[in-house]
Amino acid sequence: MKLTTQTAEVIIIGGGIMGASLAYHLAKRGCTDVLVLEKSESFGTGSTGKATGGFRTQFSTEINIQLSLLSLEKLKLFHSEIGIDSGYSPQGYLFLIEDEEKLNKIRAVRQFQIQCGLSDVVELSVSEIHKLQPFIDLNNIIGGVFCGSDGFINPMNILQGYTKKAKELGARFLQKCDCQSFEVLNNKIVTVSTSLGVFFAESFVNACGPWAADISKKAGLDLQVAPLKRQVAVLQEIDLLPSTLPMTIFLSDGFHFRVRNRQLLLLRSTIPETSNLFDTTVESNWLKTTHEIAKKRIPNLKHSTIDIMASWAGLYEMSPDNHAILGKSKLDNFYYINGSSGHGAMHSPALGQLLSEEILDGKASTINIHPLRPSRFDEGEPNLDLHLL
């Protein structure tokens, strides 16, 4: 494409689910002169295309619960508003507990969730777990919690839906546009220089997912967002387990699984083998150990095989307190929609709306987003999470 000079009211850097959601919410509010700049050949090739599509309200901080509840409300209306299926399927999230101490902590979290307006989380006995999830070995399990409105979404459908609707309203999306440097004057970004030319705007937004720190550095800012590799093992066989099962998570080590498109996906968080933070190769040791763990816990998998080619790895965009970083940076016209720490697909409907309010009205009104302010780390006030859920 020819090098060009262009202007927009708001430039969003990054065409993942966050960039798309924000573009739509700005355009919906009448700010249609929005330009999304994406370095890849197509949209969603970053973390969004790698997400497994879990959706949960079961968090242990008020702000994350509020983000989920707002997103849930928006997901239920997604088809009528956007015209595309968000894939929201309320099959539930089932957390399994193996020790007494954790069970007591989870009970305290449940009380907290109820206070935060999350009414449909229930504690389950082992026999109730068996009815809901009859395929796991329950020998070490002493209880669990379940929320029926949690479940699954289709992150790429959400991205494509928001993109399509934002375009219909007038927003523009450019791919193969690598943002390389900024001109900053009087504490404001004036232009961004890209592989496709120089772009002027009144406001700029960092929606670069795991690459967010890099783009902020180009504007002279230190944003504490780091990539973290997450791997997904895919089993070769189809229909090993029914597709109606909930997301099932073992709280002891975070091993979890779901059925997607009739195939079983296995996940387990580990420290990556390589020091290259952006590495996304699937580790053969990780595949082997994860499969062994799965076979012990899900007896039906005894004779299953891993589909190495179909397995994949992507990057979470981690913030220091595992919460999104949302709002104005230290520059007067540069905003962050970053750091969702692995919950970005599910929270993108809420975060896009909230940042559009902040940009257009100077303050988000639907939810108090003070806990997500970028300055909280400098102020020594990160969100305190029990890290149980």
Ligand X SMILES: Cc1cc2nc3c(=O)[nH]c(=O)nc-3n(C[C@H](O)[C@H](O)[C@H](O)COP(=O)(O)OP(=O)(O)OC[C@H]3O[C@@H](n4cnc5c(N)ncnc54)[C@H](O)[C@@H]3O)c2cc1C
The answer to whether 24 contacts ligand X (rule: CB under 6 A) is no
- Can you tell me the distance from the alpha carbon of 218 to that of 221, in angstroms, rounded to the nearest whole number? 7
Q: Which amino acid is at 189?
A: I
Q: Which of residues 253-282 bind ligand X (CB under 6 A)?
A: none
Q: Which of residues 142-171 bind ligand X (CB under 6 A)?
A: none
- Can you tell me the distance from the alpha carbon of 347 to that of 323, in angstroms, rounded to the nearest whole number? 11
The answer to whether 91 contacts ligand X (rule: CB under 6 A) is no
The answer to whether 339 contacts ligand X (rule: CB under 6 A) is no
- Phi/psi for 62 (5° steps) reads -60, -40
Provide the 10 A C-beta neighbour count for residue 168: 13
The answer to whether 204 contacts ligand X (rule: CB under 6 A) is no
Q: Which of residues 173-192 bind ligand X (CB under 6 A)?
A: 178-179
Among 6, 29, 33, 45, binds ligand X (CB under 6 A): 45
Q: With CB under 6 A, what is the number of residues at the site for ligand X?
A: 40
Give CA torsion, residues 379, 382, 384, 388, to 10 deg.
-170
Tally the residues of the chain: 389
- Can you tell me the distance from the alpha carbon of 254 to that of 97, in angstroms, rounded to the nearest whole number? 11
Among 345, 350, 359, 389, binds ligand X (CB under 6 A): 345
Shortest reach from residue 155's CB to ligand X, in Å: 6
Burial of 120 (0-12, 13-18, 19+ CB in 10 A): middle
Map residues 50-89 to x or -, x wherever contact with ligand X holds by CB under 6 A.
xxxxx-----------------------------------
Q: Which of residues 226-255 bind ligand X (CB under 6 A)?
A: 230, 232
- Can you tell me the distance from the alpha carbon of 149 to that of 167, in angstroms, rounded to the nearest whole number? 31
Shortest reach from residue 68's CB to ligand X, in Å: 10
Shortest reach from residue 96's CB to ligand X, in Å: 18
Take residue 304 and report the two structure tokens written for it: 């299953």
Among 166, 233, 234, 315, binds ligand X (CB under 6 A): 315
